[in-house]
Every structure is written in C-alpha cells, then in structure tokens.
Amino acid sequence: MNTFLPGATIGVLGSGQLGRMFAMAARRMGYLVHTFSPETDTPTGQVADVEVTASYNDLDAVRDFASRVEVVTFEFENVPAATVEAIAGIVPVRPGGAALYTTQHRLREKSFLERAGIPVTPFRRIRTLAELNDALKIIGCPAVLKTAGFGYDGKGQRLIRTLADGADAHQSLDGQEAILEAFVDFEREVSIVCARGADGEIRHYGVVENLHERHILDCTISPARVSAEVAREAIEIATSLLEQLELIGILCVEFFLSRDGKLFVNELAPRPHNSGHFTIDACTTSQFEQQVRAVCNLPLGATEQLRPAAMANLLGDLWQQQGAPDWRAACAFPNVKLHLYGKHEARPGRKMGHLTALAATTDEALRLVRAARAALTTSAG
Ligand code: AMP
C-alpha cells in the first residue's frame, strides 16, 4: 500500500465545506491540496493550493488533475464511475470506486446492507406507478419515496401518508428510479463516524445523536443519549461495514433507533459527515485529519473525545431577515467555536457554517450551542 508523507499533493473531488475542512487539516500537516469541481471560488478552493474548475464528465480535465497529484480522495460521492476509473488509472483513489459505487445509490446501498445481514427498514425498487401501488400495499402507509440516486438532506424525498398520495408522489419523480421505504417511527436518530486506514486499522468516534429540522441536520450531540448495548451494536455494525466495503478513509453510518430499542441503518456516507464536525473542537484527532491519515497511509490518530459537545448548523435562513448574523454575539460565548465555510450566497436551507459548544454535559452543550445560535439573530447591534 503506497504511503504519502507530508509534502505530497492530495487531490479532492468536490469543493464544498467537507473539502474545505479536509484541506485545512491536510495543509496543517504539510500536505498540498488540489480540488476539482464544476464551480469556482468554492469553500475548498479558497483554502486549497490549486482549484480546478471543470465538469466531472470532462475526462481530459480529470486526467490532467490526476496527473498533478499523488492520491485522490473525495468530499462529494456523487461523481460518475467513469471519472473515478479515469483517475484510478493514474493514481490511487481512496476510498476506491467499489465503495463509492455502492454508497452513491440508495437501492444498491440498501441491497448491499440487506445481503450483509444488517437491519434496514423494508424497501422496494420503484420505476412505475403500478410498482409503487403494489409496493404501498405490501409496505403499508406511511411510507417514504426517495429517488435512488443523487439525494441528500431530504432532497428528492416524499412522505406518502395514504394510498391516494401515490400518483402525486410518483409524478414528482419525473421518471427517475426510486426506492420506497417503510416509515420508521423512531425514538432517535444516531450516527457513528469511523475510519479505516490503508493497513486495515479501524477507529471510531462513538455514537452521536442527530436532531433534524425539515429533513436537514440541525444539531448533533456527542456522546448520544443511548444505552451501552445500543452503542455496542452500532459500533459492531459500523466496523463490519468498513471491513466489508474494504473502505480506506472515513465512513459515516446513520441509524434510526426505534422505540423498542432496535437499530436500522438509514444511510452510509463514505466521507467525513456533518454529524462528525464536533470532532474538530472536541476530539484529539478530527474526522478530517483522520481522512488525511487514512488516505495517506499514516497511522490513525486517537479518537478520544475530550469534553461533551454539541454542534449546531448555521443555515442560510439566518441571513434572510437582517443580513449578516451578529458573529460577535456568538463569540461572546467563550466555550462556543464558530466555523464558516466561505459561501457567498446565503440561500434558505444552505449550510453556511456551524457552531460547536463544549461543556460539562451534553445537555449543557446543547443548551449553550442553541443559545449562541439564537444570539446571532436576536441581539442588538
Ligand atoms: P435521508 O436523506 O435518507 O438521510 O433522510 C433525511 C431525513 O428524513 C432522515 O434523517 C429522517 O429524519 C427522515 N427519513 C428518511 N427516511 C425515513 C424513513 N424511512 N422513516 C422515517 N423518517 C425518515
């Protein structure tokens, strides 16, 4: 397995905030970073050494990008398979194309999980309205219809409350392949971020708890308020998935915890995850540094959490009423850390940054991070 030492150049596919925080960790350790995406002046490009702007389908540009770096990773998994193959012919891609192929498509992902014996909510593949109606009779209502590819943050997702909603929901798919899932009446949503090095070493950050608003992550608290047994089971599942996917890098496993204490895997992300952002301020090694270490074949760092923490996302909605939020007010909380992603346009629902609070307990950290976020828009001046 090739090792890439500080001074080497790492390529990143994608240019959002995950790439930005990865590039900051990589540059701190003495690596150079090139980023590739169809956009310019991006969150990653602003802190990378080189920003390449081209389509993922422009394979000449992709090969040129690959020829100037030593290893490639990604922060955005919805890149075409041909792009990854073109790069893999020139330099290693970590995680590799197989893990990417499985996790970038909900049907492939759920089928893989089912075959691996991992509990998932009942699901069916949907192409036609007739298939949807049949599936609704088997799975029952309420159910959730999701596009099979390219969905995140609840995009391309519809709740079907009764059989009569089927036709409308099917029309909204606009001919795209979809998956119908049974609705899980969960008690909590939890996730686990874990890492596997190029030599197979595995580390995890423990189970964290995620609070959503309008299908978008709102707050994460770590550690999660779950029993030791649930935590053990989640860790076992995540570890076995890292091994089965032979993944080199970071994996986030998102779960529903049902009211009777059962875990169901909802989704996998083969990269750092929003629910792991707290690790920057609260853990010995952040998820981004861990990605650097894993893809460069350095030993993984300790994942120990130093204090209970809570993270709150800052969405573009915060800008809608009075312009820029009052950053000074949030910084007046000495145990709250501000992270902004350098995005110029604050659209509703767009992730612009986050706050992390550290405290003696997770409940106190959550109270603090919410108070700091509220101060962004309520304080005078
Ligand atoms: P996803 O894009 O699949 O991660 O879904 C975003 C959010 O929608 C999840 O975090 C849940 O809050 C909700 N959701 C998605 N699928 C289901 C389901 N089958 N049952 C209940 N809630 C769901």
Whether residue 142 has a cis bond before it, omega within 30° of 0: yes
Mutation pick for ligand 1 pocket among 181, 266, 313, 351 (CB with most ligand atoms within 8 Å): 266
Q: Which residue's alpha carbon is at the smallest distance from atom 5 of ligand 1?
A: 154
Query: Cα-flanking dihedrals φ and ψ of residue 336, to 5°?
Result: -115, 135
The Cα 134–Cα 71 span in angstroms is 47
Q: How far apart (Å, rounded) are the C-alpha atoms in residues 269 and 206?
A: 16
Distance CA 347, CA 92 (A): 36
By alpha-carbon position, which residue is closest to atom 1 of ligand 1?
154
> Quick one: which atom of ligand 1 is closest to the CA of 186?
21
The helix/strand/coil state of 353 is strand
Strand partners, 46: none
211 CB-side CA count, 13 A: 13
Interval 267-276 mean pLDDT: 97
Quote the tokens at residue 166: 């089927």
* Lining residues, ligand 1, CB within 6 Å: 121, 144, 151-152, 154, 181, 183-184, 189, 212, 215, 266-267
Residue that the structure tokens 């009075």 belong to:
322
Top-confidence residue, 249 or 1: 249
Distance, CA of 58 to CA of 54 (rounded, Å): 7
Atom 8, ligand 1: residue with shortest CA distance: 215
* pLDDT value at residue 321: 80
What are the residues whose beta carbons fall under 8 Å from the beta carbon of 79, sequence distance 6 or more?
13, 14, 56, 100, 104
Distance 212 CA to ligand 1 centre (A): 9
Q: What is the model's pLDDT at position 215?
A: 87
d(CA 215, ligand 1 centre) in Å: 7
Decide if pLDDT at 155 tops 70: no
CB 140 within 8 A of CB 170: no
CA–centroid distance, 99 to ligand 1, in Å, is 22
Helix, strand, coil percent content, the chain, rounded in steps of 5: 35, 30, 40
Reported confidence tier of residue 379, pLDDT bands at 50, 70, 90 = low
The amino acid occupying position 181 is E
Look at 153 and 26; give whichever has higher pLDDT: 26
Taking 90 as the threshold, does the pLDDT of residue 152 lie above it?
no
Residue whose CA is at the smallest distance from ligand 1 atom 19: 183
Alpha-carbon span 73 to 195, nearest angstrom: 14
Q: What is the pLDDT of residues 95-143, one digit of tens each?
A: 998 999 999 999 999 999 999 999 999 999 999 999 999 999 999 999 9
Q: What percent of the chain has pLDDT over 70?
A: 98
Neighbouring residues of 127: CB distance < 8 A, sequence distance ≥ 6: 177, 178
Q: What is the DSSP letter of 85?
A: H
Given a cut of 80, whether residue 243 has pLDDT beyond it is yes
CA dihedral 110, 113, 119, 123 (to 10 degrees): 20
65 alpha carbon – ligand 1 mean position (Å): 36
Tell me the percentage of the chain whose pLDDT exceeds 90.
Answer: 89
Pick the residue whose CA is nearest to atom 7 on ligand 1.
215
Render pLDDT for 224-237 as a digit per residue (tens, 0 to 9).
Answer: 999 999 999 999 99
Pocket test for ligand 1, best of 124, 139, 144, 158 (most atoms within 8 A of CB): 144
What separation in Å is there between the alpha carbon of 105 and the centre of ligand 1? 15
Q: What are phi and psi of 242, to 5 degrees?
A: -60, -40
